[in-house]
Amino acid sequence: MPSSRESLMAMLSQKLPRLRALSDEFACRRPGPGKWSPKEIIGHLIDSASNNHQRFVRAQFTDNLVFPGYDQIAWVMTQRYNEAPWPDLVDLWFAFNRQIAHVISVMPENQIARERMEHNLHKIAFITVPENQPVTLGYFMDDYVAHLNHHLNQISPGES
């Protein structure tokens, strides 16, 4: 099974050209009521990268995986991503995730694999973990990559 860094780098390499090829006009179109546009999805992924970058770094200094959550919808709406230039959003998303891949690549394996009983991944993970089950930072990093892939497939359906 590829590492989180390898999975993330492969996804970035595959998706970046496809995202850059989308027009600004297409990127601000919402597919339906209550649905996010591609700009808002990438904005959400920028917010996710911002929060998870800090979580991955901070987790190396703690014995738990308890992190603050955030109101994802409010963050997207407050930042008005639909009004931002598409190329700028794509470049920021790419740069942030490339940095996360770097952080993962230099992280000691003992930090990645260490089991921790105290966590709140039953609340904040994409694929939640029961509160009473131990979890690793490696699991949470893989979960981040799965979350990223899920949302990128909303922009480009049928791609993995």
Span 92-128, pLDDT tens digits: 999 999 999 999 999 999 999 999 999 999 999 999 9
User: What CATH number matches the domain at 4-23+36-155, 1.10.10.10, 3.40.440.10, 1.20.120.450, 1.10.3720.10?
Assistant: 1.20.120.450
- How far is it, in rounded angstroms, from Cα 91 to Cα 20? 9
Question: What is d(CA 27, CA 70) in angstroms, rounded to the nearest whole number?
Answer: 24
Q: What is the pTM of this model?
A: 0.94
Beta pairing partners, 135: 116
Tally of CB atoms within 10 A around 4 = 25
